Amino acid sequence: MREAQLGSHTIQTHGVRLARKHTHDWVVLILLAALVVALHYAPPFSRFVGKDMMTDIRYPVKLSTVPAWSVPMISILCPWLVFISIYVARRDVYDLHHAALGVLFAVLITAVFTDVIKTAVGRPRPDFFWRCFPDGKQLYDQVTGDVICHGEKNFLTDGRKSFPSGHTSCKIKAFDRQGHVAKLCIVILPLLLASLVGVSRVDDYRHHWEDVFVGGLIGFITAVPCYLHFFPPPYHDQGWRPYAYFHMPEELQAANSNNAQN
């Protein structure tokens, strides 16, 4: 009933005004993206690695089951396909815009937190030994006992970014007390996918299990406030629309009043 009263709002009718209103949000997103790129190329802390520490970081180098290029596909493009499908059905640009904005904020803020910690901690990956000594010939500083690596520079730099895992970081009114198990399955599916990605990082010897656990925790903690910033909780009576959708009639009324006075 409420949805019928508010009507539909398409990209053509409300898109430009909505984009202008949130210009600052998109500017912040661009700055966050630039910061993520800068952190990606920042050299990590060169943590001491002695000969007696090599036991747990001597796993073989393997290809990643989930390559780095696929992470944006999973975390951004896949949700966007869902949002676009919902937009086609509902014709609500507020829902589409705020869902896309929320996902981007969640992903970029998570990436910033993850990369800052990776760079600051500099924990060696489980396959660090073979990154450091690709020919198997070990070399250590005679005074400090620290490793003297002769592996490929970029591959070695990435080998010091184990903690936390960056790989492990649809809106639907699921908890509406109506017993719709299908909704709960849809909510759990992305969590299951993220868990499988995390497991693959341990199986590929790219991360320790602690890296994956903390990476997933960072992603979850970041996603919750980003979602609640734009949408009511899933169990709320108005959990089927973003906050802006319900504020829109008041804003239009205020704008019309100002125009009438002028």
CA distance 204 to 217: 20
CA distance 15 to 165: 37
Q: pLDDT digit string (tens) for 210-226?
A: 888 888 888 878 877 87
Asked if 234 and 183 touch (Cβ cutoff 8 Å), the reply is no
> Does residue 253 lie in a domain region?
no
| pLDDT above 50: residue 179 | no
Cα 69 to Cα 166, 175, 216, distances in angstroms: 12, 34, 18
CA distance 18 to 26: 12
> Does residue 261 lie in a domain region?
no
> Does residue 160 lie in a domain region?
yes
User: What is the radius of gyration, based on Cα positions, of the chain?
Assistant: 23
> Does residue 257 lie in a domain region?
no
CA distance 8 to 88: 11
Of 104-108, 126-130, 204-208, 252-256, give the lowest mean pLDDT range. Answer: 252-256
* Residues with catalytic function: 167, 207
> Does residue 174 lie in a domain region?
yes
Q: Taking the chain, what is the end-to-end CA distance rounded to the nearest angstrom?
A: 34
> Does residue 47 lie in a domain region?
yes
Strand positions, DSSP E, 24-159: none
pLDDT band at 161; cut points 50, 70, 90: confident
| pLDDT above 60: residue 183 | no
Q: Which ranges of 43-180 does DSSP label H, i.e. alpha helix?
A: 70-72, 78-90, 93-121, 128-132, 153-158
> Does residue 262 lie in a domain region?
no
Overall number of domains in the chain? 1
Reading the block at residue 123, the tokens are 């924990």
Cα 43 to Cα 46, 71, 150, 157, 178, distances in angstroms: 8, 22, 17, 7, 51
pTM: 0.71
**Helix axes of 209-230 and 181-203: crossing angle, nearest 10 degrees:** 140
Q: What is the pLDDT of residue 96?
A: 83
Q: Under 8 Å CB-to-CB from 67, ≥6 apart: which residues?
A: none
pLDDT band at 31; cut points 50, 70, 90: very high
| pLDDT above 60: residue 171 | no
Domain encompassing residue 239 = 7-246
Q: pLDDT digit string (tens) for 100-112?
A: 888 888 888 888 8
Each residue of 15-36: b (16+ CB within 10 Å) or e?
eeebeeebeeeeeebeebeeeb
pLDDT band at 3; cut points 50, 70, 90: very low
Residue, of 125 and 205, whose pLDDT is higher: 125
Residue 29 parent element (H or E): helix 23-40
> Does residue 252 lie in a domain region?
no
CA distance 174 to 51: 52
pLDDT band at 4; cut points 50, 70, 90: very low
Reading the block at residue 10, the tokens are 């398409």
